[in-house]
Structure 1
Amino acid sequence: MHASTERPLKVLTPQLADRLRVFNSASRTLQAMGIRLHRIDPVANLLVVGPEDGHRLVRDRLTEGYQCHPSAGSTRYTVMFQGVSLEWREPISYRDYATQGPSGIDLTFH
């Protein structure tokens, strides 16, 4: 079936093009810093990095909006880097308890 008029399909709007430009720039900057990208999701404007790399970016003050989301098995961290969301996860393990010792963790039931 043919359309009655020939019009080019415009998929990349100016807003989407600008968003992808920012996303690609942030991705390339991270890779140039030696940070490995575990997941690249331009639709969600999200990059997933390793825990060591995420903490390094926070320590070097290259990020904004630090958020911590603990759950039963891991903790998810989210920050903003050059307009792109960065995320990493750290598993909760027995080693955390072992390194802090019983005095560092409150195990009181309320």
Structure 2
Amino acid sequence: MAIFVSRHHHDGNMPDHVHEYGRLTVDEFARLVGHNLASARQAKGLSQEHVARMVGIAGYTYQKYEKGESRPGAPMNPQMGTLLALCQVLDVELAELLPKPWPDFTAGR
């Protein structure tokens, strides 16, 4: 069984259990990506608005990403170019933003 291990401090908003087969749900995965974005941004001392401006997205959009959402009730799903731009601005590798194990994104297809 794979077990999720976060590289960041556990703050109570992250899942504290392992699901059957050790997989996160898509919603949990998105929240963890958002948490990792927020941690990386704070480590650089940047505001959400500054990061959004540097990436070329609306401040509101970036705020939702840090919550793991695209819109209320829907997990974040940024375009690849946006995700890579965030990595460049925050000076992190893509793998640092994406927790493992990944959810099964093929489920139900």
* TM-score, length-scaled by structure 1: 0.30
State which structure, 1 or 2, has the greater radius of gyration over its C-alpha atoms. 1
Q: Which has the higher strand share?
A: 1
TM-score, normalisation: structure 2: 0.30
Higher-RCO chain (CA-CA 8 Å, sequence separation at least 6): 2
